[in-house]
Structure 1
């Protein structure tokens, strides 16, 4: 099992991995979960897949994607958009409630947003935990390499059950809310002291 952090600066070094990650996102989010998201050429994407972002990918030697995640700086700006959680709070997204945070969405160099976090639905249950832990470990490494310490993410509200297993301090940043029949919550992940 390999982990790679992709950026627009290094995509050319990793063959089809970026496209495979977007294909895996489509397979899970559009085909399996039936979410209404943009797609083209068999890939899912949105307005946050820009050169400002990074993508953490867990994959095998053949480029088969098992898990992934997108990191976007909370300081990002692209037209009217910034980052997903903040834009939802500002009422720019009709699929995520605006009351998802208790306080105003933070903007700072030390905070990035983690979004589109997934483990592919066809990853065997015998290795799912290990794949998820590998994804979170690489996420922390990448965050620290970007001179950041924290990530905001919108997760299934079951996060307290597995947070300790992956060794990351987490805290709720807003209420539990139902989105697409799943209880979700914005969580802050603290990578300032975490070393994997």
Structure 2
């Protein structure tokens, strides 16, 4: 698959729900991209130059991206699938400004009982990526779980796979050179 555009799906998952969504998004991307799905703790601090699409996701905690304190609170809810040390928030801070032609999209998981509550890890991550000069090519997506520890609502894995397929279309429909804008003063 050399020469194929690469996609990187970076996720934070406490109880495995966001991990399942990330894997499904990766499946949706694979027909068009050489795709790697990585837990945030396994992700490089700088993006490889051949990554053209970065997809970032995590659980919504306290109306946004998780923090050490909210991860500690989650750890008290049940067995965790990931260490609670590094989350998407910290990884994005380490990532710094965009230096490649990479575009981005964001997603989160959230409890279905609070669909109307404000705040979203996906929206917060999209804001952070825009601030770091990434072009965000799709509206942030939310996928729903029955309770903090899960399970995922019925149909959410299929919906995540389809969202990955839609990202392929969104990325492919961008005009050539669309990411060449840079802000002055950096």
Query: With structure 1 as the length reference, what TM-score do the two structures score?
Result: 0.32
Structure with more of its chain in helix, by fraction:
2
Report which structure shows greater RCO (CA 8 Å, sep ≥6): 2
TM-score by length of 2: 0.33
The structure with more strand, counted as a fraction of residues: 1
